[in-house]
Amino acid sequence: MSTDSYQSPLNTRYSSKEMQFNFSDQKKFSTWRQLWLYLAQAEQQMGLDITNEQLKEMNENLNNIDFKLAAEEEKKVRHDVMAHVHTFGVACPKAAPIIHLGATSCYVGDNADLIMLKDGLEILLPKLARVISRLADFAKEFKDLPTLGFTHLQPAQLTTVGKRACLWLQELVMDEQNIRMARDSLRFRGVKGTTGTQASFLQLFDGDHEKVKKLNSLVTEKAGFSSSFIITGQTYTRKVDTDVVARLSSFGATAHKICTDIRLLASRKEIEEPFEKSQIGSSAMAYKRNPMRSERVCSLARHLMGLMSNTLNTQSVQWMERTLDDSANRRITLAEAFLTADAVLTTLQNITEGLVVYPKVIERYIAQELPFMATENFIMEMVKAGGDRQECHEQIRVLSHQAGDMVKKEGKDNDLIDRIRKCDYFAPIHSQIDSLMDAKTFVGRAPEQVTEFLVEEVEPVLKMYEGKLEGTVSLAV
């Protein structure tokens, strides 16, 4: 790794080798050569004078790329595709006359991008499924454990630790569906010519429309796509980029929400992300256990969410059949969207494989708030015992305010229950107070909802990834 020039942290610190390769020069330009071979094979099949010897020569040099020669040629001609046409021709002198025959630059550029988008989504989906799997196990394990719910970041009715995890899971399941749909709906640009009219190919085949359509179908099939766009300009519509990156950005929002919740819960010491034996939380405060993994996810997710504006802006300014001001932006945006999503998923899997829950801390927080939450139940039971609802409400109000003053003004524990036990007015329900204060009676159907959700919505998703859910993740940094 070079230390005297800028290297993207997405490569040096965060993303996986497989995703880095997917957007590498080797993958890109070998895919260009593969596309030139597909085109030549299809053109031969449709009757053009292309020899088996030429095809063999091309096939043998798909990965034999002289990057130095290509760079020198591009510097001269200021055209990356023609530089690589020349470089491929040097490696394949017999095939040189028929390389790129009838095609425009976007034949290789755009079609290769679509292949890399598809392959990138194929890399991301099993990783997303693994995160869903780990969180599903967590939700199942803690589906019955009561915890304080929060609305407006203020204590609210109880939920369970597992039910809260299902809030996270639900968004991840939606992300899986969105990203899978993006993969499945990708279409090939195909062989369309300079403005999408296929005029050059119609010329090659002496005006035979059926041969041109067949040529397009053959190349599309060879490239691994089930269909191609009927309508394109010089490029495939940049709305495709917008749609794909939008789904990755949407996942970024999910990941940010999950890890923000974990960070908030970690500040209360209810839940912790993995913390390694030799890990240092702070250079100054040796006792600290900072949630650095979750903070990293939030940081990367913000970048991922922000990339969507690039694709929207690029799509909106593609004048007529195309303009080249998309090129430099797309080189950065598309790769970074996938590398960032990959890094977020890797980190998220690491977090979800090692989440630690502290039930005693959670129980202590519940004990501080539950007395207030239980008062409505006390009122109901008093009315059943013959009490007056309004009078009971007033008694509770007075005792609650007294207990609240103890908590807020004197920093003491909530003693509302002790006050109710000592109050003669509530004597009819004194024997019921312990059962009325059982935290598990305040979680409603949360445990049942967890089970129903996992069975009905999560398990069908995981079933699609059987054999791909194994393995753990260790972070490089």
* Active site positions, annotated: 152, 282
Asked if 252 contacts 347 with a C-beta cutoff of 8 angstroms, the reply is: no
Strands 154-160 and 146-151, by their bridges, are antiparallel
Residue 455, both tokens = 């069975």
Residue 28: what residue type?
K
| 3-state secondary structure string across the chain | CCCCCCCCHHHHHHCCHHHHHHCCHHHHHHHHHHHHHHHHHHHHHCCCCCCHHHHHHHHCCCCCCCHHHHHHHHHHHCCHHHHHHHHHHHHCCCCHHHCCCCCCHHHHHHHHHHHHHHHHHHHHHHHHHHHHHHHHHHHHHCCCCEEEEEECCEEEEEEEHHHHHHHHHHHHHHHHHHHHHHHHHCCECCCCCCCCCCHHHHHHCCCCHHHHHHHHHHHHHHCCCCCECCCCCCCCCCHHHHHHHHHHHHHHHHHHHHHHHHHHHHHCCCEECCCCCCCCCCCCCCCCCCCHHHHHHHHHHHHHHHCHHHHHHHHHCCCCCCCHHHHHHHHHHHHHHHHHHHHHHHHHHHHHCCCEECHHHHHHHHHHHHHHHHHHHHHHHHHHCCCCHHHHHHHHHHHHHHHHHHHHHHCCCCCHHHHHHHCHHHHHHHHHHHHHCCHHHHCCCHHHHHHHHHHHHHHHHHHCCCCCCCCCCCCCC
